[in-house]
Amino acid sequence: MDAVLEALYDSDRKGGLGKSNPKINRWLGDIRKYFPTPVVQLMQKDALERLDLKQMLLEPELLETVVPDVHLVATLLTLNKAMPDHTRATARMVVKKVVEELEQKLYNPVRQAISGSLNRSLRNFRPKWNEINWNATIRANLKHYQEAYKTIIPERMIGYGRKGHELRHIIILQDQSGSMSTSVVYAGILACILASLRSVKTNMIAFDTNVADLSEYLNDPVDLLFATELGGGTDINKALTYAESIIQKPEETILVLISDLYEGGNKEELLQKVARLKHSGVQFLSLLALNDDGAPSYDREIAEKFAAMDIHAFACTPSAFPEVMEKAIKKK
């Protein structure tokens, strides 16, 4: 066990990992033997960063021995353009395994939060006379039956909701600069889950200094993730211009900007667009990150300008995302 740790964390000594495939393969096997999976994933991440072993992931034989996790998927997406054809199939299998595990974990919480909040929003507790749902009103007020009057005196009336409010339009606007790599993975998976729900319309837009609408890939999260291009600069202003062009009903639209807000484009125009979207009725959410990595570095000046518009930028974990969306649908 000591030799395994020294190979990574004391690599200047003789016997370090270097960049030899046989040594790395053996080391990957050893850490799985000595440590539990969460520790293995952490050590793999350290090896990639400390020893610059990303090039090794382009070899399918090595890739098959790695324990997959979100950080590995993010690294593979970063290497996507440099990946030879003989490695691509193995990389897709690794990504697919992680995607399926995360979908299984996140699908039900997202579905319950979105569907539940939409159903509740369709119930009208201040109905006009012709909107009263008498059956629901009677059931809800049976406990208020007055024996003396042989009647029910309702405490509250329940009406039929307006069907026009059923469909929400959710736009995920994902910064795909290098610092946002794990957020890209989670955002892609969550966008695909949202797209599978009939009660919402979903668009997934990725951007750096260019804008790519990836909504056509929402039926397959693996295809969607491989359609992203991690790295490059950031032009939030340009991305918002595109998002604004596809909004049809602002009051029914939730725009989720996932970015650390380090803007390389026009900051003044960016702030003007956000103010205009907000004024039009769009629910605007600013997530500084969507991962489990803790508080990110971010542009505090823009975050403060957002706060002045009552848009509070914050980092969000994937497990908290369903609750965030539920509150947005309720307009809380």
The two structure tokens encoding residue 78: 């970063």
* Comma-separated ranges of CATH 3.40.50.410 domains in the chain: 107-116+163-329
| Model confidence pLDDT, tens digit, residues 219-271 | 999 999 999 998 778 999 999 999 999 999 999 999 999 999 999 999 999 99
Half-sphere exposure in the Cβ direction for 243 (13 Å, CA):
33
109 Cβ neighbours under 8 A, 6+ residues apart: 319, 322
Position 198 scores a pLDDT of 83
Rounded to whole angstroms, how far apart are CA atoms 79 and 88? 10
52 contacts: CB under 8 Å, gap ≥ 6: none
DSSP codes of every residue in 73-122: HHHHHHTGGG--HHHHHHHHHHHHHHHHHHHHHHHHHHHHHHHHHHHHHT
Roughly what angle, to the nearest 10 degrees, separates helices 2-9 and 21-34? 130
Give 293-304 pLDDT, tens digit per residue: 888 899 999 999
Closest to 30 in 3D by CA, of 60, 63, 8, 57: 8
* pLDDT tens-digit readout, 130-145: 667 788 788 888 888 8
* pLDDT-based confidence at residue 46 (cuts at 50, 70, 90): confident
Where would I find the beta strands (DSSP E) of the chain? 145-146, 151-152, 168-175, 200-207, 211-213, 253-258, 283-290, 314-316
Residue 180, C-beta contacts closer than 8 angstroms, at least 6 positions apart: 174, 230, 258, 259, 260, 289
- The fold for domain 107-116+163-329 equals Rossmann fold (3.40.50)
Question: Tokens 């490059």, residue?
Answer: 232
For the chain, count helices (H), then strands (E).
13, 8
Q: What pLDDT shows up at residue 295? A: 80
Q: Is the pLDDT of residue 19 over 70?
A: no
Question: What confidence tier does 110 reach under pLDDT thresholds 50, 70, 90?
Answer: very high
Query: What is the rounded distance in angstroms from the CA atom of residue 195 to the CA atom of residue 207?
Result: 19
